[in-house]
Structure 1
Amino acid sequence: MAAMQPPPAMPADGAADLSAADLPPVVLFLPLSPVPAGPTVAVPTADQQDLRPPSIALAGLFAAMGAAHVFADAKTAADAIPDEASDALLADYERQKVRPGFDLKDFVAQHFAIAPRRTVSYRRRPNESVRDYISGMWEVLSRPPDTLVAHSSLLPLPETYVVPGGRFSELYYWDTYFTMIGLYEDGRIDLMRGMVRDIASLIDRYGHMPNGSRTYYLSRSEPPFFALMIDLLAMHDGQVAYTTFLPELQREYDYWMDGADSVAPGAAWRHVVRLPDGTLMNRHWDDMDTPRDESFPQDIATAAQSSRPAAQTYRDLRAGAETGWDYSSRWLADGHSMATIHTTDLLTIELNCLIAHLEQTLSHAYDLRGNKAQADRYATLATARIDAIRRVLWDPKRGAFFDYDWKTRTLSPVLSAATAMPLFLQMATPEQARAVAETMRTKLLKVGGLTATDHVSGQQWDSPNGWAPEQWMAIKGLNQYGLDDLAQQIASRWMERVIGTYEKSGVLLEKYDVVNPSISPTGGKGGGEYPMQVGFGWTNGTLLG
């Protein structure tokens, strides 16, 4: 992507959210460059990949496909592979659509191939344990190194990788870390290392790890877990992992902190926010303000219900997708309506903890390289960030960490399992950790584990649903502070829910209803924009861990 220019001076009132017109242009066609940390990606010399999302490259045709619901799942349209370059296909569409008897579905069937999607169909063998299932699923969910396919939205990867499952048939950012936990436990180190190299290759090519390995994800990322992946790899490969991937760690940090040196107090630029007192923190952001390709009709419908400009709603929907919690009452101003989404107003718990951990990791990597100045610089930045987390995101009355609205200068009313993130990364004080433990025990812990939040909104990242990564980080975070009894309680309840569901269904799922005392073979409540997904990478990985 094109380098971002320093931001202009921002007004002190914080009215600094910018439209796409305010951003520098993006390079739309890029060659795939060699990846220093692993094998290079083979690219046909005759075809450089069009990095525009299909919604831009195919313009009116893509919008028409969404409006007509040509595919039941909008993501199928975003992943479909045209049979010719976008300009030629659009010209053909414009000619044909005015002819009598034109049928859009027939036109799409003629000119698009459905992207290969291996359905997770795993036949449980008699007496097969859940552990056997997980080990067998690595092969089902693995994808070989990619070959660049002309006109496809898939970003090719150089090494074998594991996908989450179901409709998620490409590499996703934060999912990968939790999947890797299981690969590590199962001794699949080569596969785990290859996935780290895949992410490094994306950072090298595009300046950041996208939400997932599709062109339409390039305008945003997801919670930055790359440094934690390096921690995991270093447990096997040793300290050399930090110096090997230092260039990518630095590029990732530069992406998240773009504009930090120039943003004014009380204002924001892309992912960075400077509070009135000068404290620097991060929010989620997407460089585009149009409907998401993978949910095009849904986003248009949401924007139509909003009282704000459509572009603002689209930006916040996209930023909500970058959180990984798509979607939750955490991002909704009224706690339940998607039309009130305001993600870009929020300094989130996880993002700021992960940036602090990235700063700690950079300090460690530079120290290994013998660069004391840089090591000290990043250690100082990490200390300041952790102080901000303890101060800005902490509510002593409610005994938990909360997202902070930097525009209204208030903490969110929504208690979420993300309150455990500062414990997971050892950034809470002992007193805060004990308070968080009690709050989780009384407010979030249910018969099947922790609910995502204490709100019921119909969104999938709310009660009654529980998710594997949140259980894992809470359990490990409590262990870090010696709060082992509650950690064991959460682990036992979650494992009983997941394994109990497996015994009824023969599969592991993306999420689970943890409130209902009865165990459903389908996982219980769904919510969200798509049906329950089977697989499932992070459930498999953390359960095995």
Structure 2
Amino acid sequence: MRLQIEDTLARLLQQEDTDGDKKITVEDQGPRKFVVRSTSGNERTLEGTYHLSNLLQELVIARNRGQVEMDLDWNRIDEPPADRINRMIRDYYWPGLTRTMDESGLGNLILDTKNDSLVSDRLRVYVPFEDEKALNYYKGLTDRFPIDVIQLPQEISPEYVRSINSEPGILSLALVESEEEISGVPFVVPGGRFNEMYGWDSYFESIGLNLDGRVDLTRAMADNFQYQIEHYGKILNANRSYYLTRTQPPFYSSQIKEVYEQTKDKSWLRNHLITAIKEYETVWMIPGKRLTDIGLNRFLAEGLGITPEAEEGHYDVVLRPYAKGAGMNLETFIQAYSSGALVNPQLDRYFVHDRTVRESGHDTSYRIEGRCADLVLVELNAMLYKYEMDFAELIKEVFDESFLCNGRNYNSSYWEEKAAKRKELVDQFLWNEDEGMYLDYDLDQGKQVPFVSATSLVPLWCGMAGEEQAQALIRSVLPKLKEKGGVASCDAGSRGDISADRPQRQWDYPNGWAPHQMMIWQGLFRYGYKKEAREIIYRWLFMITRNAVDYNGTIPEKYDVVAATHKVFAEYGNVGTEFEYITQEGFGWMNASFQLGYHLLDEIDRENLNQLIAPEELF
């Protein structure tokens, strides 16, 4: 059936988009019955929000390709919803999220909304001191792009980073040179306002990319991680100048291991394993920094002053009493403190914790707010246990028990002993036998923090829990967190009451997040709890599918899993919900969680999902 695109689109929106948001959702008050007319005069009637929004999306996809007319594929209109989400992520959203930091990709970065606050209309590109190739490449583009190229100093201190916070910019990533050209090594962004390469987002995205046959992108992002470690000293929170003092949860060993499982490129693995060991030793295992006196690890972000990425006014309630005490108005106080002209040790300590919350990835949560740098977190030590076990396995299975790295020859026993010692310390400080769960440990108070969090289940993901501990976790923790739409980030009791003085935090109840779900699913499968895994996977995917069906294909950053809705009322809004006609990206790790869950479910559950059979009818 051949359609005239603009005419059909205009009639469809005029009739069905009654709230004028250029989407067709269950909140529109149209008749939900539309007559599709072909250019030859044939007609077919479509009914229901889902089918009408599919028509809208297919029309816009064709229009975006430059078409004036299209042959409508009715299989796409009638496509089962879970199958459609799976296909759209694979074929449409991943390409929409892929970026490069080269001539072909700079346009996306220049148009980024973060640049609206720049003093000039030029984008600053910061380049590592020793990367002459990048420096020359970007300088060669200044006549075609509104960019300023700045070479970073050889030593990057917190003082230096503070000095450029008023001049924020993008940090260069890896470039590759061929006979024809220099091009940027690609990466996948989370989406929306997150238009740069993030740390742990990139790993979880890679899980979905690998399932969708895009190991080339996963490998490329690992190459960019390697570039960051070599040139910036760490895997960055993201490649923005104000993140130079901050890393994120560590997943590099998992990423390179999973790339190798698909490519079998031993030379590539060797090169990256050397870098991964370097990151482990120099970022995580320096005593007095991220390695604590009890032998376990914490997050600890450096940096001075107010975090520049926070939305305007975010810290006003915190800063106002200090400004009053200093006899200044708020604006003057912020300027003085941010520049270093005014020193306030108490406020400095507040921002150490605040930056560390952001380094942890859980920004923000009452579990860690105001004390994060003093906490030995369960999930971080589980992640580093995974590093140690990954190193041991790769050296044993791939490198025949001999791996030369930085002048030292490692065998698997070295890393197995590291992992065993970590497990022993985790059991001593983080395991609570009476509660049957892992709890974070407060170094300052010398005791565990009584907070029931989804992160208590992360030791299942890495295999650190003993069988009895796993049983206790399934008995004690999972029931407290299981909700209509999957696993909540914590329980209501731990979060506490919410009020004007104590607002909702986005990483707390009632919200659920993709990385928690994915690690918990994999952990349940690892320990043989397939029934429990199947249920919470189905709950999560049903929530995503139901919301996509009702809201024009929306795949957002986060969900309220208690109400099973994308309408989340918390700080920062919900990325991925504001678009016109069709989402061209979804959201990075949400896409990946759907692909992983879709892969793990059997055919019967997929069919139930396509039929929109609610979890209450199955479990």
Q: Normalising by structure 2, what TM-score?
A: 0.62
Residue 285 (structure 1) aligns with = 300
Q: Does the CA contact (< 8 Å) of 2:460 and 2:520 recur in 1?
A: yes
The structure-2 alpha-carbon separation of the partners of 1:409 and 1:220, relative to structure 1 and needing over 3 Å to count, comes to same
Q: Deviations over 1:168-211 (max 9, x none)?
A: 00010101111111111110121221111111111111121110
Residue 542 (structure 1) aligns with = 593
Q: Deviations over 1:84-112 (max 9, x none)?
A: xxxxxxxxxxxxxxxxxxxxxxxxxxxxx
- Whole-angstrom distance in 1 between the partners of 2:353 and 2:449: 16
Whether 1:370 and 2:370 are equivalent positions in the alignment is: no
Q: Deviations over 1:411-468 (max 9, x none)?
A: 1121111111100000000011111112233210011111001134510001110111
Whether 1:528 and 2:571 are equivalent positions in the alignment is: yes
Residue 132 (structure 1) aligns with = 87
**RMSD (CA atoms):** 2.2
Q: Does the CA contact (< 8 Å) of 1:291 and 1:299 recur in 2?
A: no
Q: Can you give the 5+ residue segments of structure 1 that lack an aligned partner in the other structure? A: 1-120, 261-268, 333-340
Residue 277 (structure 2) aligns with = 250
- Whole-angstrom distance in 2 between the partners of 1:281 and 1:436: 21
Q: Deviations over 1:384-418 (max 9, x none)?
A: 01222222111122211111101212111211111
Map 1:5-44 to 2 at 5 A. Answer: none
Residue 210 of structure 2: SS of its match in structure 1?
helix
Residue 500 (structure 1) aligns with = 546
Q: Deviations over 1:94-134 (max 9, x none)?
A: xxxxxxxxxxxxxxxxxxxxxxxxxxx99577345111221
- Whole-angstrom distance in 1 between the partners of 2:592 and 2:299: 26
Residue 324 (structure 1) shift = 0.5
- Whole-angstrom distance in 2 between the partners of 1:531 and 1:441: 26
Q: 1:310 aligns with which of 341, 347, 350?
A: 347
Q: 1:356 aligns with which of 362, 369, 385?
A: 385
Q: 2:310 aligns with which of 284, 295, 301?
A: 295
- Whole-angstrom distance in 2 between the partners of 1:289 and 1:402: 30
Letter in 2 for 1:378: W
Q: 1:400 aligns with which of 437, 450, 453?
A: 437
Residue 531 (structure 1) shift = 4.1
Residue 141 (structure 1) aligns with = 97
Residue 499 of structure 1: SS of its match in structure 2?
helix
Residue 91 (structure 1) aligns with = none
Q: Which segment is superposed worse, 526-535 or 420-429?
A: 526-535
Residue 222 (structure 1) aligns with = 248
Residue 469 (structure 1) aligns with = 515
Q: 1:154 aligns with which of 151, 170, 183?
A: 170
Residue 294 of structure 1: SS of its match in structure 2?
coil
Could you say which structure has the larger radius of gyration? Answer: 2
Map 1:49-448 to 2 at 5 A. Answer: 126-127=77-78, 129-135=84-90, 136-146=92-102, 148=138, 149-151=147-149, 153-158=169-174, 159-238=185-264, 240=266, 241-260=268-287, 269-275=288-294, 280-295=295-310, 297-298=312-313, 300-304=315-319, 309-332=346-369, 341-367=370-396, 368=399, 370-371=402-403, 373-448=410-485
Residue 292 of structure 2: SS of its match in structure 1?
strand
Whether 1:483 and 2:529 are equivalent positions in the alignment is: yes
- Whole-angstrom distance in 2 between the partners of 1:399 and 1:539: 30
- Whole-angstrom distance in 1 between the partners of 2:265 and 2:208: 21
The structure-2 alpha-carbon separation of the partners of 1:242 and 1:386, relative to structure 1 and needing over 3 Å to count, comes to farther
Letter in 2 for 1:491: I
- Whole-angstrom distance in 1 between the partners of 2:469 and 2:358: 29
Letter in 2 for 1:146: D
- Whole-angstrom distance in 2 between the partners of 1:454 and 1:143: 37
Residue 213 of structure 2: SS of its match in structure 1?
coil
Letter in 1 for 2:292: V
Residue 238 (structure 1) shift = 2.5
Residue 150 of structure 1: SS of its match in structure 2?
strand
The structure-2 alpha-carbon separation of the partners of 1:498 and 1:257, relative to structure 1 and needing over 3 Å to count, comes to same
Q: Does the CA contact (< 8 Å) of 2:557 and 2:574 recur in 1?
A: no
Q: Can you give the 5+ residue segments of structure 2 that lack an aligned partner in the other structure? A: 1-56, 62-75, 104-137, 139-146, 150-167, 175-184, 323-344, 404-408, 499-503, 578-585, 597-619
- Whole-angstrom distance in 2 between the partners of 1:403 and 1:380: 23
Residue 296 of structure 2: SS of its match in structure 1?
strand
Q: Percent identity?
A: 29
Residue 419 of structure 1: SS of its match in structure 2?
helix
Letter in 2 for 1:156: S
- Whole-angstrom distance in 2 between the partners of 1:540 and 1:464: 21
Residue 304 (structure 1) shift = 2.3
Q: Deviations over 1:229-254 (max 9, x none)?
A: 11211220227253231221022112
Q: Does the CA contact (< 8 Å) of 2:556 and 2:574 recur in 1?
A: no
Residue 511 (structure 1) shift = 0.7
Q: Does the CA contact (< 8 Å) of 1:386 and 1:427 recur in 2?
A: yes
- Whole-angstrom distance in 1 between the partners of 2:431 and 2:237: 28
Residue 530 (structure 1) shift = 4.1
Residue 500 (structure 1) shift = 0.8
Residue 97 (structure 1) aligns with = none
Q: Does the CA contact (< 8 Å) of 2:219 and 2:256 recur in 1?
A: no
Q: Does the CA contact (< 8 Å) of 1:142 and 1:160 recur in 2?
A: yes
How many aligned residue pairs are there? 401
Letter in 2 for 1:289: L
Q: Normalising by structure 1, what TM-score?
A: 0.70
Q: Does the CA contact (< 8 Å) of 2:204 and 2:592 recur in 1?
A: yes
Q: Does the CA contact (< 8 Å) of 2:253 and 2:273 recur in 1?
A: no
